[in-house]
A and B are shown apart, each in its own frame.
Chain A
Amino acid sequence: MDYYEQNLETIKNNRPFLYQSLTEENSGAATNRLEEIRSVITKKSEKAVVIKYRNKEFRLNSSYSPAYEAERWANQYEFQNINSIMLLFGFGNGVFAGEIMNRMKANDKLLIYEPCGDIFYHVLHNYDLADILGDKRISIAVENINEFEFHNLLFYYMDVTNINSFITCMHPHFDKIFESSCILFWKEIKAAVVHTRTNINTIIRFGRREIDNLLFNLKYLKDSSTIWELKELIPDKAAAVIVAAGPSVASQIEELKRAKGRAVIFAVDRILDYLLDAGVVPDFAVTVDPMKPIEYFSKRKEVTIPLICLMYANHEILRLHTGKKIICNATEFLAGAYKKINKKPPLIPSSPSVATTAFSICAGLGFQKIILVGQDLAYDGKYSHAGGTEEVNGYQQDVFVEDIHGESVRSRTDWKAFITWYQDRITLSPEIQVIDAKDKGAKIKGTLIMPLKDAIDTYCDREYSLDGIMKQIERTNRTEDILRLKEYLEKSLASLERIKKRAREGIKECNQLIDRTAVCPLTGESEKSSQLKLGKINKYITKQPVYFLMDFLVEGQSAEQLVKIKQLTGDDRRDNLDTYEKSKFVYEAIIEASDYIKPGLKEAIQEFL
């Protein structure tokens, strides 16, 4: 077996998506094409890569010892933090990545972005990369082959505990040779930081409200269904139409009337009233936001259209709604309850907007044709939403994006994030055809742009009666199930006191450790014993089902501490003291969260039956 076959075999066994991308027909570098690439033997009998790009020759490694160069290069980076994320621009022949790999700890991650497919193919043929390719801590994204993996993994791995401590590394010369790709690399990092910071801020803002909503909404469980019951009844090969509140909806009302009965129509939040006023009755309304002002859902005194919702959606909206409620996300806390009654818990993840969540819901329901209406994701002049609305959102800034005609159009930072979300989701769901039925607005790559009239004629060629379907939908929970759900809630209530007790033990242990460490460093045995104790406390607390309810409240209250908890200075005593202080803070947040939840959960249990 030559190097290429060996490397490909390793990729096949460890990186199926990269393997698929590499072996697809027409797979290959479309950007940053080289005029020439070769490997040369160095003065110390190692191999170095030399390339010719835009008529200039570049040596990518030392002409003496690439391994020594990589070692000295890597010395500038400190890899002392826990669960570090390293981001490397440029894979080259793997020698720099290999040096980072040798310094990584078991839980560290290395995300590599290689801007030049020609280089990657060359090294696959000429170098033994088994150790790097086989290391599951490392991901490799190659531009124009699988570059979205870098984006996805970066967004996945970055969180409150490492947002301030990830390490960005540059393969020597790559930033100057592949400048535009390097700019994109930095933009991805910035987007991930903004996304994570937004999530942290969202958790802080919404944490308590989400718990309040969930506890208020528990009373609807007994008469609700889940999306899994709904899925059984969705007509085969039906198309979904998701109507959001972009300005373009105004010109599509007549076609939406034509779509009624031929596709399943989902109205997201504020567009509901607009559609009803215009004589379009959607099949479902969707709401997810925990704090959406009720008038942004509907100004009507009551709403009876079936409502798909998350358990922690605004309870005021769920109270206004008197029709059938269909749960799409019951939260991890209630997932345990559903499993107790042998039901599949609905856990469709929420995403940046109600429309993107509606998309996930439609994908979960098995729709393979999804038509987007009103997803302008751009201003129409001064208007932000249908009905001549000019919303001023203090949290968002203006940005410019490409529109469906290839021109630049004014958008918002949150809308731009939604565009990225759609593009990523569409890439990961090749079985779903997504039609963007608008004549203006931001371009969403991967969608088929088509007037709504044509989309209905092409994809909505049958007639359905969803009224009949909704009459058939089963209530998820029979009487005996409801009693068992109540029992689950009662046990959760009882466990709150036990959690508090263990958290107090954790605080006591931390105080003792702080006192002892301040005087002199702990011995190995003594430190190990304390860490075991704290480990047991943490394991107990996080194993309790009700902890899922507390989690984002604790995360929100201790976000500031969590950001720093995995950053180390290298001074063991200082680092240990810091860790114990921050751990105390987290235990205190756990106690506060328990006290917060208890009265609401007690009341919810009383109202449950």
Chain B
Amino acid sequence: MKIIDDTTDLFYQQKIKEGYGQLGHTLEKLAEAADRISINNKGNYRHDIREDSLPEILGSAMEAMEAGDMVLFSDILQYELKEAFREIAVLNK
């Protein structure tokens, strides 16, 4: 969560260059997190809706990034992705 906050802060503050500098690392961590969720749920017959939406959320974030809208990108991370991770964490307890 902190890594999302750190990166999105840079984009909210219009520090685009620094944000991109950190973005690679952030996306790597997010991808790792998504993979871990997927592995944890393998063999678990409980089908988690939020896990399915992760690719969709990340896809929207990538679209925003490609369009150069880094505020929207940050919003998606803050409001959609973080929420998805929280729900997954709750469901998997």
Contact = CB atoms under 8 A, between A and B. Distances in A.
Contacts of A73: 12-14
A72 B8 contact: yes
Interface in A256-294: none
B75 A62 contact: yes
Contact of B75 (A64, A170, A173): A64
A419 to B, nearest CB: 35
Contacts of B71: 59, 62, 69, 172
A65 B80 CA distance: 13
Given A72-B8, A172-B71, A64 B13 contact: no
Contacts of A43: 79
A42 to B, nearest CB: 9
Interface string A30-74: 000000000000011000000000000001001111001100110
B14 A63 contact: no
Contacts of B78: 64, 68
Interface residues of A, number: 16
A198 interface: no
A76 interface: yes
Contacts of B15: 76
A531 interface: no
A65 B71 CA distance: 10
Contacts of B75: 62-65, 69
B72 A63 contact: yes
B79 to A, nearest CB: 5
A73 B15 CA distance: 10
Interface string B6-18: 0011001111000
Contacts of A172: 12, 14, 71
B51 to A, nearest CB: 22
B18 to A, nearest CB: 11
Contacts of A69: 12, 71, 75
Given A62-B71, A170-B14, A72 B9 contact: yes
The B interface, classified by DSSP as helix, strand, loop or mixed, is: helix
Contact of A76 (B8, B13, B72): B13
A75 interface: yes
Nearest to B79: A64
A257 B13 CA distance: 64
B73 to A, nearest CB: 11
A63 to B, nearest CB: 6
User: Which of B71, B72, B78: most chain A Cβ within 10 A?
Assistant: B71
Nearest to B71: A62
B12 A72 contact: yes
Contacts of B69: 59
B75 to A, nearest CB: 4
Contacts of A59: 69, 71-72
Interface string B45-75: 0000000000000000000000001011001
B13 A75 contact: yes
Nearest to A69: B12
A1 to B, nearest CB: 33
A75 B79 CA distance: 19
Nearest to A64: B75
Contacts of B12: 69, 72-73, 172
A460 B72 CA distance: 66
A64 B83 CA distance: 14
Contacts of A72: 8-9, 12-13
Given A62-B71, A64-B79, A69-B71, A75 B14 contact: no
B17 to A, nearest CB: 14
A65 B75 CA distance: 8
Contacts of B72: 59, 62-63
A145 B15 CA distance: 31
A72 B5 CA distance: 9
A75 B10 CA distance: 10
Contacts of A44: 79
A69 B71 CA distance: 8
12 contacts: A43-B79, A59-B69, A59-B71, A62-B72, A65-B75, A69-B71, A69-B75, A72-B12, A73-B12, A73-B14, A75-B13, A170-B14
Q: Which 9 A-B pairs have the closest CB atoms?
A: A72-B12, A64-B75, A76-B13, A73-B12, A64-B79, A172-B14, A72-B9, A62-B75, A69-B12
Interface of A: 43-44, 59, 62-65, 68-69, 72-73, 75-76, 170, 172-173
Given A69-B12, A170-B14, 20 more contacts: A43-B79, A44-B79, A59-B69, A59-B71, A62-B75, A63-B72, A64-B79, A65-B75, A68-B78, A72-B8, A72-B9, A72-B12, A73-B12, A73-B13, A75-B9, A75-B13, A76-B9, A76-B13, A76-B15, A173-B14
